[in-house]
Amino acid sequence: MAEPTPIFQRMAVIGLGLIGGSMAAAVRQNRLAGTVVAFDRRYEDALLGQELGVIDEAAASIADAVTGADLVVVAVPVRATESVLAEIKPHLAPGTLLTDVGSTKASFVGAVESVFGELGANIIPGHPIAGSEKSGVAAANPALFAQHKVILTPGEGTDPVKLDWLTRLWEGCGATVLTMSVAYHDEVLAATSHLPHLIAFSLVDTLAGEDQNMDIFRYAAGGFRDFTRIAASDPVMWHDIFLSNRDAVLRVIDHFSRDLDQLRTAIANQDSATLLTVFSRAKAAREHFSKMLSGQAYVTDMSQNQVTFHLKPGGRMVGDIRVPGDKSISHRSIMLGALADGVTEVNGFLEGEDSLATLQAFRDMGVTIEGPDNGYVRIYGVGIDGLQAPRGPLYLGNSGTAMRLFSGLLAAQPFDSELTGDESLSKRPMGRVADPLKAMGAVIETAEAGRPPLKIRGGQALTGIHYEMPVASAQVKSCLLLAGLYSEGATSVTEPAPTRDHTERMLEGFGYHVHRNGAVSSVSGGGRLTATAIDVPADISSAAFFLVAASIAPDSDLTLRHVGMNPTRVGVITILRLMGADIEVSNEREVGGEPVADLRVRSANLKGIDIPEDQVPLAIDEFPVLFIAAACAEGETILRGAEELRVKESDRIQVMADGLEALGVRTTVTPDGIVIPGGQTIGGGSVDSHGDHRIAMSFAVASLRAVGDIVINDCANVATSFPGFVELARSTGIQISAEGI
């Protein structure tokens, strides 16, 4: 293979310590520069670097190092930067890229301005978010930056070509590059890095001064050691950092001191409510952050973890259960609760990754939210105009629903915002919401082809529109109705086919009138929402597995409580009843605008049917498990008009047909559906779910009528939509075990 062309001819590192040395070593190892030369104020350190293979050449002076270099990296302690820049200046060739690695950025820009007059086009401040408590070239490690972030803070006049080179250099060292403003960098780092270091130094110093200090350190548990590890960092470097980022650090220390004082008062007053609120809020935030900080897509992250279901054949379904809450309603309960006046209490909240991302985003906009704790969430609404500008981009994980709904809500706020998501969300088109929002007066910038991130400019006055949706989409409709809450006049949306109406129902539940007339829903701006209590209905899509399971397994009698019976979702019940299922609906009532009921299901002899096409959109997510019902029925079941099934999390028609075939069940796949001859024996075998949670759970249900063991691969995503599925299935009669959780 041909050698890659280096990005730079000659890289000069000034200050060959841990960071400069690690960068030099990574650049050499990855052949990103032709020659790497370094100067250090202790020449023997530069020679040591040469001996260790960290650099090609040790320079005896700054002039020797910088002359002829097309890249100069300043890697000295931040307080030494200005004098080093002054020494570099006379030897710097025009066009040479100058960058640094310092932990604070305003100080670097200040030093550049005092030496060069301005942050020129070729000077780009940088900061790798990687390091260790060690220092010096002997600790240099070429892998230090792999899978870490590097922040660049280019100025307005930065040469984009140079920025691209520097970005590629860091990426070549294995890092991910982010850009942000100098001020934002310093604020964020003051909070996430500088304050924790200060607390660690201070805590260890305080404890070392206590009388029993030896015992404290001797008996210190792992938690103390982890928490105070950073107190072993280089004192000189941290002294420099605190002094050079003084203002941002003082702000965050003041904030922390106030909060610490509040905890002190709570302890003194035996105020357990405050303590529990603060601790549970912190716990939830920590869990959310650790997922975000792992930098992984939620779903990809989970599916990297291989989970396999093992099923024994046979069993009967008995019990009285409640399946997890509906995802769409969980999402909306947080959104509207946050915007309402008063405190909204939510029970049965689905603690899935998507709804947790929504919850965190509202916390980032100043809303106090307690929980979730076993499905209970308490939201202290800030009122329709009470959201505050988030400090940074709002990260919405994998949730397309959240991104589309948020775009409507944020388009109308007085502040700017940015919506980002994981890798897979970043590929989804957002033009379908951005375009009609722009027609209302919103200012939204998307990445290429309408993809995230979405940059939303605040302070726009929106005007209501009448929008005819080209494609039926509950997300687009909801987005526009949310923007409509803030718009002048009426906003109405016409849908070409019925879509889920959870937003309209929940707005009514919060006392906001939605005018509905056939295919048109409209709201008038300027109203307010009133807090309410929401008992999130159990998700009918999750209940569907148990409806089919109890129908096909002999001698079953299973009750499902509090199931959402939204008319746009109940197709699975209608279809199963047409097949002869014995489903008794009782205790019908309405919560937060949504109809719910208890369902009792007993075994029945199902028969095959021609599925009415008008039921297809009302049962679209439930077909995988309905195919299992069809395989167990007497006679043939025919599905038509369901092409949409092919573009879900997997091609659900083909993947189900393949899985059934692996278990010895014949089917005929058609372009828009499937024909399943019933009454066939379901054998044992191995099925691939293709990472599709509904396929995995459907084949778990099939085991009730199988004659052999079934193994289902790639089941990690089940936990996203149905936390606790394995335990609930087992407790009601499915002989399931999971491996790899």
Tell me how far apart the alpha carbons of residues 57 and 96 are, in angstroms, rounded to a whole number: 19
Q: Kindly state whether residue 348 participates in binding ligand NAP, applying the rule CB under 6 A.
A: no
Do the annotations mark residue 83 as ligand-binding? no
- Provide the minimum distance between the beta carbon of 40 and ligand NAP in the complex, in angstroms, as a whole number: 5
Q: Give the interface segment with ligand NAP, choosing from 13-21, 499-507, 543-551, 646-654 (CB under 6 A).
A: 13-21
Distance CA 127, CA 668 (A): 59
β-bridge partners, 445? 455
* 78 in contact with ligand NAP (CB under 6 A): yes
Candidates 11-19, 247-255, 463-471, 694-702: pick the segment binding ligand NAP (CB under 6 A): 11-19
Position 15 contacts ligand NAP (CB under 6 A): yes
CB of 17 to ligand NAP, least distance (A): 2
In angstroms, the CA 311 to CA 709 distance is 6
Yes or no: say if 11 and 24 are a contact pair by the CB < 8 Å rule.
yes
Report the residue number whose CB is nearest to ligand NAP: 17
Is 409:385 a contact under the CB 8 Å cutoff? no
Task: Establish whether 648 is an annotated binding residue.
Answer: yes
Lay out the site mask for ligand NAP across 445-474 (x = CB under 6 A, - = otherwise): ------------------------------
Taking CB under 6 A as the rule, does residue 688 contact ligand NAP? no
Q: Which of residues 271-290 bind ligand NAP (CB under 6 A)?
A: none
Other residues' Cβ atoms within 10 Å of the Cβ of residue 321: 17
Nearest to 238 by CA among 203, 207, 195, 204: 195
By CB under 6 A, is residue 14 in contact with ligand NAP?
yes
Cα distances (angstroms) measured from residue 480 to each of 124, 407, 417, 457, 712: 41, 9, 17, 17, 41
482 part of the interface to ligand NAP, by CB under 6 A: no
Instruction: Supply φ then ψ for residue 499, to 5 degrees.
Output: -125, 170
Binding window for ligand NAP (CB under 6 A); candidates: 8-16, 381-389, 436-444, 720-728: 8-16
Residue 473 labeled ligand binder: yes
H helix intervals, 413-454? 431-439
Q: Are 628 and 701 in contact (CB under 8 A)?
A: yes
Rounded to whole angstroms, the Cα distance separating 599 from 603 reads 13
364 counts as catalytic: no
**Residue 520, strand partner residues:** 494, 517
Strand 308-311 relative to strand 710-713, pairing? antiparallel
x/- letters, 221..260, toward ligand NAP (CB under 6 A): ----------------x-----------------------
3-state secondary structure of 616: coil
> Can residue 483 be called a binding residue for ligand NAP (CB under 6 A)?
no
Taking the least distance from each CB to ligand NAP, the nearer of 246 and 322 is 246
Count of beta carbons in the 10 Å neighbourhood of residue 697: 31
Calpha distance 39→57 (Å, rounded): 9
The tokens of 151 are what? 């922040």
Stretch binding ligand NAP (CB under 6 A), from 73-81, 184-192, 287-295, 726-734: 73-81
Is 621 part of any known ligand binding site? Answer: yes
Instruction: Give the strand pairing for 451-457 and 417-420.
Output: antiparallel
Cα 504 to Cα 471: distance, rounded to the nearest angstrom:
18
Instruction: Give the C-alpha separation, 438 to 431, whole Å.
Output: 10
CB of 136 to ligand NAP, least distance (A): 5
Instruction: Please give the residues from 512 up to 531 whose contact with ligand NAP meets the rule CB under 6 A.
Output: none
> Number of residues in contact with ligand NAP, rule: CB under 6 A?
26
User: Does the protein bind ligand NAP through residue 141 (CB under 6 A)?
Assistant: no
Alpha-carbon distance of 642 to 679, in angstroms, equals 23
Binding residue (CB under 6 A) for ligand NAP from 47, 80, 216, 669: 80
HSE at residue 339, side-chain half, CA atoms within 13 A, is 24
Please say which residue, 195 or 618, places its beta carbon nearer to ligand NAP: 195
Q: Was 246 annotated as part of a binding site? A: no
Query: What is the closest distance, in whole angstroms, from the C-beta atom of residue 292 to ligand NAP in the complex?
Result: 21
Distance, CA of 401 to chain centre: 12
- Angstrom CA distances, 477 to 401, 466, 499, 570, 648, stand at 11, 11, 9, 20, 20
Q: What is the CA radius of gyration of the chain?
A: 30
x-or-dash string of contact with ligand NAP, 153-192, rule CB under 6 A: ----------------------------------------
Q: What angle do CA 470, 571, 717 make, to 5 degrees?
A: 80
Of these, 7, 13, 27, 45, which contacts ligand NAP (CB under 6 A)? 45
Does residue 76 bind ligand NAP (CB under 6 A)? yes
- The answer to the question of residue 65 lying near ligand NAP (CB under 6 A) is no
Tell me whether residue 240 is annotated as binding.
no
How far lies 107's CA from each of 135, 248, 732, in Å?
21, 12, 64
> In angstroms, what is the minimal distance from the CB of 203 to ligand NAP?
19
Q: Is residue 42 close enough to count as binding ligand NAP by CB under 6 A?
A: yes
**Coil, strand or helix at 520:** strand
Q: Of these, 49, 125, 131, 564, which contacts ligand NAP (CB under 6 A)? A: 131
* Helix 693-702 with 540-552: angle, nearest 10 deg: 20
The reply, when asked if residue 505 is annotated as ligand binding, is no
Among residues 10, 17, 474, 593, the one that binds ligand NAP under rule CB under 6 A: 17
77 binds ligand NAP per the rule CB under 6 A: yes
Q: How far is the CB of 231 from ligand NAP (least distance, A)?
A: 13
Q: Binding residue for ligand NAP (CB under 6 A) from 8, 72, 102, 152? A: 102
Between CA 412 and CA 488 the distance in angstroms is: 11
Distance (Å, whole) CA 618 – CA 571? 5
Instruction: Name which of 184 and 217 has its Cβ closer to ligand NAP.
Output: 184
* 98 counts as binding ligand NAP under rule CB under 6 A: no
Residue with tokens 């590929």: 427
Choice between 126 and 381, CB closer to ligand NAP: 126
**Closest to ligand NAP by CB, 43 or 279:** 43
- Please pick, among 621, 688, 692, 714, the residue that the annotation labels catalytic: 621
13 binds ligand NAP (CB under 6 A): no
SS (H, E, C) 649-701: CCCHHHHHHHHHHHCCCCCEEECCEEEEECCCCECCEEEECCCCHHHHHHHHH
Of 125, 126, 128, 348, the one binding ligand NAP by CB under 6 A = 128
- Residues interacting with ligand NAP, by CB under 6 A? 14-20, 40-42, 45, 75-78, 80, 84, 101-103, 128, 131-132, 135-136, 237
Q: Which residues are annotated as a binding site for 3-phosphoshikimate?
A: 327-328, 332, 473, 475, 621, 648
Q: Which residues are annotated as a binding site?
A: 327-328, 332, 400, 428, 473, 475, 621, 648, 652, 694
Q: Could you give the residue numbers annotated as active site? A: 621
